[in-house]
Homo-oligomer: A and B are copies of this chain.
């Protein structure tokens, strides 16, 4: 107890309680890890005083009503400190001691790193450097969409401050003047293998944060009075976010581990002694305040039944149809929001931006923060559509991966996919996006070939669970479907009937396949053409029939050979127990710049290559 508080009995009482509570959180962290036989107790113990103070008088969270929109959000960016988080939940009465001790057991909600399997966890963490960006997403949602007065509290580790994504989050929080987010940086000096870059140099962190526009407070992270003052200061700060940079000791309070290297990520060897040093097991309960229940969150009313319709035969880029379709969707649904990585004039999300500026968020060239923002917004029930060049979504791949663990439902549009972009060259081509996106758990991968199909697909995307990805093309292509046709997710379209050979394409290559079918028809080869616009889930039945009814399939994709459309077809056929020769056409050599037609030809995915591959599958086709 500091001298400052000595004169005030309430303050003395509070400090005493918080010290006890912090010791309980440490003891429970040790106990949970001991029960599990693994976990990160020392990383939990350093932040126990910070959490004790937060729970006791600052956090406003109705544990009985986790769906209350007015609840604060508590994000453990250092997700490995899960024993501390779960010990907090126990202290708050949300879980009991028996459940605490199921930590990391098969079937337990208390996983090694927090996930929304627990109703008080908004986002999964455990990949360092993501919790603060997610927190910024939640804070932006509260400030600019929900218009709520709650706060987002994010516990960061010092090791993870080395992740660039953390600085994207700092930047965006300052740019959007989010005074409803507080980062608690637990500077315990020790990473997994040794000292962090900056050790206990609190100034290193606060100087960076201040340079970006944050308010900062440096504290002794084990002094309840200082922590109290810092939290109060954070709450009183307006117009900018606050970082509380706290000097702490890893493993605080247990001599076996305190401030010692080599003690990361393992249970204590002698928990009994440590628990004794910490004053034994306690069963304190902290009353966490519930938020004021007055007032709900903002909603936007539909403005009208605008639809995006295109005439058959028109030439329209699918990215353009995305922009129009998204604006139309925005007119019909108030819950749709959009964001972009500073290329909204290329992705055409600018159409939404111009129509619904309150629901559009400029994420600048910070794709990781863009994904994190989308995750934050969907956690509060909004339906985000985030867009950039398909190639640059790869920058946020770890965030997409973690979003699936967060059970997030959100929509991504990647434009300018494939060699068909032409002159810009391979850095902009995204020849791996289908593979990467297919390999996201529960994902949906769509690749429309025309404007009406693009616009129509946005509608089921908005209602779909999980991560939906729509791949769009740079160049214009002819509209081949009418504006009232429907394109169920998981479906396909047989755009040309034929019983000799089946050509399977999507997006750009569907048009090449149609051209190939025309040429083949002249030669007497009847090619069936399947538009596999839904790459995942895949229309297995249509492919099975094609395998049975024709001599073989040619798949063609503007993508590397691995993991894309062709592999999806092969997997579907294997699933169906169907067997047929399949020739997979894909991009094999590294492209350079050139005209789209030149690059499609060089890659061997144009109509000429498709027709050649088809002929090879049809016996005696040359003699027809």
Contact = CB atoms under 8 A, between A and B. Distances in A.
Given A579-B579, A593-B105, A191 B365 contact: yes
Most buried by B among A39, A574, A593: A593
B436 A432 contact: yes
| Oligomer copy total | 2
A249 interface: no
Nearest to A579: B579
B106 A343 contact: no
Nearest to A602: B106
Interface in A339-377: 342-346, 350, 362, 364-369
A564 B435 CA distance: 10
Contacts of A207: 211
Interface in A170-205: 171, 175, 191-194, 196-197
Contacts of A438: 435, 562-563
B592 A113 contact: no
Interface in A208-266: 208, 210-212
Given A208-B211, A405-B427, A159 B441 contact: no
A168 interface: yes
A398 B401 contact: no
A439 B398 contact: no
A237 to B, nearest CB: 19
Contacts of A111: 425-426, 592-593
Contact of A392 (B175, B193, B398, B595): B398
Interface in A553-568: 560-564, 566-568
A590 B405 contact: yes
Interface residues of A, number: 111
A593 B79 CA distance: 14
B577 A581 contact: yes
Contacts of A165: 164, 395
Nearest to A36: B423
A486 interface: no
A319 interface: no
A108 B192 contact: no
A385 interface: no
A442 B346 CA distance: 30
Interface string A4-45: 000000000000000000000000000000001111000000
A107 interface: yes
Contact of A561 (B369, B560, B571, B582): B571
A583 B128 CA distance: 36
Contact of A164 (B105, B166, B210, B582): B166
A431 interface: yes
Contact of A175 (B117, B197, B595): B197
Given A438-B563, A439-B564, A574-B581, 10 more contacts: A105-B594, A111-B425, A129-B395, A164-B368, A208-B212, A432-B439, A435-B562, A440-B560, A567-B567, A574-B583
The 9 residue pairs across chains A and B that have the minimum distance between CB atoms = A164-B164, A126-B427, A106-B594, A563-B563, A435-B439, A112-B425, A432-B439, A397-B397, A438-B562
16 contacts: A38-B423, A79-B427, A106-B593, A107-B592, A111-B426, A113-B424, A124-B427, A164-B168, A165-B395, A171-B197, A208-B211, A395-B398, A401-B432, A407-B590, A441-B590, A570-B574
